[in-house]
A and B are shown apart, each in its own frame.
Chain A
């Protein structure tokens, strides 16, 4: 694999390998010295054309723990206003001998365009309303942990062939699906991993053509909730109200918020995910955010391990050479 631009770039073997290696990487996080020499001498530029705290930080930590030289470039609002094209900006940095770009951009497709221009490898850290493949991977990583811990509680060993944990699991993704890059990557990745995604949103926040995504779509959160093994809540931005996507926050919460009442109605063993940042009191109540079955902080912790694994798979000399 040369680039990671879309969750659709991953087949079952490579996705599972990334998740498995992430487990090993997470061991490193509990050591006093969290450093592996795997990417020594490699240069990774995190170029973020859009604000991001957790994704940028977790990529930076992931690169550093793998001994890569990690450089952050904040290019917010840059090129167009300066009169420089995205292509020129990226070719300039590429000419400095970068091994990989981790790119976040407010425009859909930017990572794919950049991959066509530069010599370096490209990891999509979120492009507009298109995709965020490492987020889907860390979501899967947290879900898999959760499914495995449920098996352990019941004294059942995880099935030996890893990669089957998602079979038959129902994952409800709830909220602003229209503007979400997280949902697109999750749908594509779960198509590979075998989870059954159910999409829940008000009709105004459904992407055009969602009926072709081969997942059930509903506006009945309560019905979906009753079946879900994972409830993934997406951030809903207040400015969507001004856009007429829904009338009031109150009405949104009533229909699509993970309220305390809905928390209580969740199926036993079901867990909560949220890619963050959370709007407490809007799409997720504080009770749900901080509940025992909330995976929110596990997602963040797993985020570093998954991004270490992604960097290792793309840039690591031994694995990278064979794939």
Chain B
């Protein structure tokens, strides 16, 4: 592993097309002219140098399900995907709902991480939905938690959601909501309600089960003047609500998961549980809506919802298998394929959606920064034209529930550098 001895990156292009040399020294970007003649050099001719990617939505499964993923394996996958920061969701075992639990995850990240691990705290104790978790103590802990989410479960109760939003204001926190109306889409809902769910006989998950919660929550955000983040927006209706809320000046941000940008409902027709995810894969009109929203900024960010599972938790009938799919290693590939290669988004916009905006939303200092002299050396070198057939078995993640397996996709990540050290090199 290259360390603080220095690394000179020659002839890279920045997102805006500017050609430049970059000198990584002591964890920061330094003036290339100051580089000693014997430092390691990387020929980056033809490569793009982008700020390291930041994920707001990562399931690292540690503590509790180390057979499915660990902080070491999950962040190794993150590094392969070009990420220098991930947000570890709170639905571990035990749940991250106290300062001690947050500090424990933080310490594991510092010890084992191949990228920065930011801790997400639960909104309610034990994700139970009835009592607030120790939001303030988690914020004040050494983990410095700023994002709170019961992800995997929706904060159903309107009053609980209002209280949480109000409470996190004093420390500039943000509540990230998994938007799922538990009556319109109950625990068994597993297929986008559509002609497909009807034919397959799978319990339907209507798109409105998401948007009615988003509509409620943006109004609660307005009422409280607090920050709301909408996890994995998957429907056209939710996009419309978020657009309306932003036009009104409500402090709402949103993310889209890579799988919702690329994969569609018919993939579940073979009952392959790899494609079971929550919210479910949607149909093309919704995919088109979230792509357009990501391009125009209605959706601020890409959140991977990287959700590795042990095989035995997927080898069940479709309605029983655990939902979720891995995503850290292919997220950039998917965004390049559907947004950049189609001309819908340029590279600076991609940098905003995958690095700068998530760092802003999560209040992560030192991530998502421009690659200027003096800034932290968190960056990724990208080959915009490389392609490869995805091999799910070759992943650094312990999860093999890779929905992109066998697809011919861009293979952009060449080198990832976090705090000046190379964390992945192809």
Contacts and interface: CB of A to CB of B under 8 A. Distances in A.
Interface string A87-117: 1100000000000000001111110110010
A107 B198 contact: no
Contacts of A107: 317-320
Contact of B198 (A105, A113, A207): A207
A108 B194 contact: no
A88 B320 CA distance: 15
Contacts of B316: 79-80, 85-87
Interface bin, chain B: 20 to 34
Given A181-B201, A208-B197, A88 B271 contact: no
Contact of A112 (B194, B196, B271, B315): B271
Given A85-B312, A208-B204, A108 B319 contact: yes
A139 interface: no
B201 A131 contact: yes
Given A85-B312, A209-B194, A209-B199, A110 B270 contact: no
Interface string B311-345: 01001111110000000000000000000000000
Contacts of B200: 108-109, 130
B150 interface: no
A109 B204 CA distance: 14
A207 B198 CA distance: 5
B202 interface: yes
Contacts of B198: 207-210, 212
Given A109-B271, A112-B270, A112-B271, A85 B315 contact: yes
A86 B201 contact: no
Contact of B202 (A86, A108, A131, A181): A108
A127 B193 CA distance: 19
Contacts of A131: 201
B195 A128 contact: no
Contacts of B204: 208
B317 A109 contact: yes
A108 B196 CA distance: 12
A212 B195 contact: yes
A56 to B, nearest CB: 19
Interface in B170-206: 193-202, 204
Contacts of A79: 316
Interface of B: 193-202, 204, 270-271, 273, 312, 315-320
Given A131-B201, A208-B198, 7 more contacts: A86-B317, A108-B201, A108-B317, A112-B270, A128-B317, A130-B200, A208-B193
23 contacts: A80-B320, A85-B312, A86-B316, A87-B316, A88-B312, A105-B317, A107-B320, A108-B200, A108-B201, A108-B202, A109-B271, A109-B317, A109-B318, A110-B271, A113-B271, A128-B317, A128-B319, A130-B202, A207-B198, A207-B201, A208-B204, A209-B194, A209-B199
Interface of A: 79-80, 85-88, 105-110, 112-113, 116, 127-131, 181, 184, 207-210, 212-213
Q: What 9 A-B pairs have minimum CB-CB distances, sorted nearest first? A: A209-B195, A107-B317, A109-B271, A130-B201, A207-B198, A129-B201, A85-B315, A87-B315, A108-B201
